[in-house]
Structure formats: structure tokens, C-alpha cells
């Protein structure tokens, strides 16, 4: 097993650096931009890490031939050995992602080369990929998450703290984030990046959230209304609690910390985990809200299960079902529990009759 470590870009061979820069160059009126110039920052970062892992493995296994063109280093045998060296050390989904990102990069360098063999490997890894852990026990109905958010907002003014004068504003903000995410389970990056007038717009009496293609992980344009049930709460946040958090500061971001700065995605994750842990005894992460949404639809309205793919921004229902829909496991658990309770009741009745 090889230690999974990335090779910093500054230490890459010159030819590899040149290829990377050619893929991501911005270009101008006289020079064509690179094929990866419009990739999302997260995609670029993940691709750089994946290629860094590959280069590091080549170094450790003494297969980094600097006289060989970078693309010529990729052979079926080498990739097989590369996967064998880390497959037992990472989740099956991570193994798939490493090869997916590597494939994305080399295709961008030379799309005319036959990469079908690498695509086949990627597809086989995808077929074997499983979620890293069983999520069913920590799934909560989206309705419960929404109601918890509303309860936090409704009770915010009663929550005071002598050491934090913004405690009511923080609780209200967290409740609104939770209710909004339960109703519209955006990815955390988009949730944290919401800006007034850019992403959040009031059209008539309805608030809309709008994200351009390049702002979204899968490059799908988003334009969705927020539920009417949140309109009053959002207005109250904008008029009272957000200005209270800003405390004289100025910002275009929707979510504000108690220090008057834009709330980071890490802070949102921390706050949601803490709030749900306190309420349910289990911490629900922002990403898990997406699982909860898909599962809630599948359980309570199975005829509309395809709605889950649209709600989560997936291209296919298969992606939604494979990684987010825990409904079948939960349903099986409920049937089993009902069976156990029935047996328990029968045993109790038998003992009472004896």
C-alpha cells in the first residue's frame, strides 16, 4: 500500500506544469482559452489534487520517467497498479473520484487520444462504488428539519446570553438556514455564497434563488422560488436579525456571523450539526439534508420520486437513488420493528393467560 499523498504543483515536472497551464489558461482576443478555463474552482482544485496523487505514486514506485511525455505515462497496467495500491485504503467512491478527475484532466489535454480503456476502468469503479457509510440510521424526515428551523426562529427572541448579545439573531439565522435547506437542499457552497440581489431576489411577493451555471457543481442553471411559508421569516431576518448581526457593517452576503462577517461554509456546517444534535440526538450535516429530501419524497410520495432528481440538481434519477435514497432500508427497518413488536405483544399476552 502506498501512502496517499499529493505532490505540490510547485514541484511538478516542467512539462506537467506546462500542460496544466495550457488547460486552464484564460486566453484573450488573440489567444484561445484553455478547455478547463470555465471549470468551477472546486473542480479545478479536485483535478489538481487527483493529478498530484498520480504523480506522487509515480515517484514512490520509481516510475516517473521525466523523458516520457506525461500522457504516455498513463498505461492500463500502471493505472491498475495505482488503483491496487490505494483501493483498500479509501472508500470505493473516493477511488472512483480519483480516476474520474484524472480522466477529466487527460481528456482536456488531448481529447483526440483514445481514452476508452480509462473510461472503462472509471465505469467499473463507479459500478462498485458504495456510500462510505450507512446513512439510514441518521436520516431525518425533511418535515422534521423544516419544523425545527421554524421552532428555532419562533423562539429566538426568548434566547438570551449575557456573553453574546447577538444570541437571538444567531438562533434566528440558524433556524432560517435549516428551514431553507430542508425545503431547497442546495449544496453547501451555494448556500454559503448567497448574495442579496445576485442570488436572492424578490420578484413580486416571492423570493427566488438564482445561480448561474458556472456557480453550480454540475453546471446546471438554478432558478427556484422559496416556499411561501418562509417569506415572512425571511423578511423578518432581513429587516431585524441580519442588521443586528451586521451591527453597522456592510455586506452583500445573506448569512452573517455574530462578528459581522459573511458566514463561512464551515461555520454553517458546524451550526447545523450542533442544532440538530441538540434536537434529535444525532448531527445532520448540510449534505445529509439532500439525502433526507430524496428519502422523504420516496417514502411519502413515491409516485413523485423523479422529483428528487430535479430537486437535487442531478442529471439522472440513478444518481439520486444510488447515493441519497435510503427509503427502502428505512421501510424494511420499520417492517422488521413492527414484526418484533407484534411478537413481543403475543408473548406478553401468552404470559398473562398462563
- As a whole number of angstroms, the distance between CA 114 and CA 122 comes to 14
End-to-end CA separation in angstroms for the chain? 63
- As a whole number of angstroms, the distance between CA 353 and CA 325 comes to 44
Nearest to 51 by CA among 8, 21, 89: 8
Segment among 91-100, 223-232, 260-269 with least mean pLDDT: 91-100
Nearest to 156 by CA among 215, 220, 71, 244: 244
On the question of pLDDT at 340 being above 50, the answer is: no
Segment among 44-53, 107-116, 292-301 with least mean pLDDT: 292-301
* pLDDT the model gives residue 225: 87
Average pLDDT, integer, range 318-330: 45
Domain 136-329 = CATH 1.10.443.10: yes
Cα 336 off chain centre by: 32
Segment among 15-19, 20-24, 226-230, 330-334 with least mean pLDDT: 330-334
Which of residues 271 and 34 earns the better pLDDT score? 271
pLDDT digit string (tens) for 121-164?
998 888 777 555 556 667 788 888 999 999 999 999 887 777 78
Calculate the average pLDDT of the chain.
80
Cα 191 off chain centre by: 10
Confidence of residue 324 (pLDDT cuts 50, 70, 90): very low
* pLDDT the model gives residue 269: 94
On the question of pLDDT at 47 being above 80, the answer is: yes
Confidence of residue 295 (pLDDT cuts 50, 70, 90): low
What's the pTM?
0.56
Beta strands 206-211; 222-225: pairing state? antiparallel
* pLDDT the model gives residue 316: 47
CA Rg value for the chain = 25
pLDDT digit string (tens) for 158-210?
877 777 889 999 999 999 999 999 888 888 888 999 999 999 999 999 999 89
In the chain, what are the domain boundaries?
9-128, 136-329
Average pLDDT, integer, range 278-303: 73
**By 3-state DSSP, what share of the chain in percent is helix, strand and coil, each rounded to 5?**
60, 5, 35
Which of residues 337 and 115 earns the better pLDDT score? 115
* Residue showing cell 483535478: 47
Amino acid at each position: 500500500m502506498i501512502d496517499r499523498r499529493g505532490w505540490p504543483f510547485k514541484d511538478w515536472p516542467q512539462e506537467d506544469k506546462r500542460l496544466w497551464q495550457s488547460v486552464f489558461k484564460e486566453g484573450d482576443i488573440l489567444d484561445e482559452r484553455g478547455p478547463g478555463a470555465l471549470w468551477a474552482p472546486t473542480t479545478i482544485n479536485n483535478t489538481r489534487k487527483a493529478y498530484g496523487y498520480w504523480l506522487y505514486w509515480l515517484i514512490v514506485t520509481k516510475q516517473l520517467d521525466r523523458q516520457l511525455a506525461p500522457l504516455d505515462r498513463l498505461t492500463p497496467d500502471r493505472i491498475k497498479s495505482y488503483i491496487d495500491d490505494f483501493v483498500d485504503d479509501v472508500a470505493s467512491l473516493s477511488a472512483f473520484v480519483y480516476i474520474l478527475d484524472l480522466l477529466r484532466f487527460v481528456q482536456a489535454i488531448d481529447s483526440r487520444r483514445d481514452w476508452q480503456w480509462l473510461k472503462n476502468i472509471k465505469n467499473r469503479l463507479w459500478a462498485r462504488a458504495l456510500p462510505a457509510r450507512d446513512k439510514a440510521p441518521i436520516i431525518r424526515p425533511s418535515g422534521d428539519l423544516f419544523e425545527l428551523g421554524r421552532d428555532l426562529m419562533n423562539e429566538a427572541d426568548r434566547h438570551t446570553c449575557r456573553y453574546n448579545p447577538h444570541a437571538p439573531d444567531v438562533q434566528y439565522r440558524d433556524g432560517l438556514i435549516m428551514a431553507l435547506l430542508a425545503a431547497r437542499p442546495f449544496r453547501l457552497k451555494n448556500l454559503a455564497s448567497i448574495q442579496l440581489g445576485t442570488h436572492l431576489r424578490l420578484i413580486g411577493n416571492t423570493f427566488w434563488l438564482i445561480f448561474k451555471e458556472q456557480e453550480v457543481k454540475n453546471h446546471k442553471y438554478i432558478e427556484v422560488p422559496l416556499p411561501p411559508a418562509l417569506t415572512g421569516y425571511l423578511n423578518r431576518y432581513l429587516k431585524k436579525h441580519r442588521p443586528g448581526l451586521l451591527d453597522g457593517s456592510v455586506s452583500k452576503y445573506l448569512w452573517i456571523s455574530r462578528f459581522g462577517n459573511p458566514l463561512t461554509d464551515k461555520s454553517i456546517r458546524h451550526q447545523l450539526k450542533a442544532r440538530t444534535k441538540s434536537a434529535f440526538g444525532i448531527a445532520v450535516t448540510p449534505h445529509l439534508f439532500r439525502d433526507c429530501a430524496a428519502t422523504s419524497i420516496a417514502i411519502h410520495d413515491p409516485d413523485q420520486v423523479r422529483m428528487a432528481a430535479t430537486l437535487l440538481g442531478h442529471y439522472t434519477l440513478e444518481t439520486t437513488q444510488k447515493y441519497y435514497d435510503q427509503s427502502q432500508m428505512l421501510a424494511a427497518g420499520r417492517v422488521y420493528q413492527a414484526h418484533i413488536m407484534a411478537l413481543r405483544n403475543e408473548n406478553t399476552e401468552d404470559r398473562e393467560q398462563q
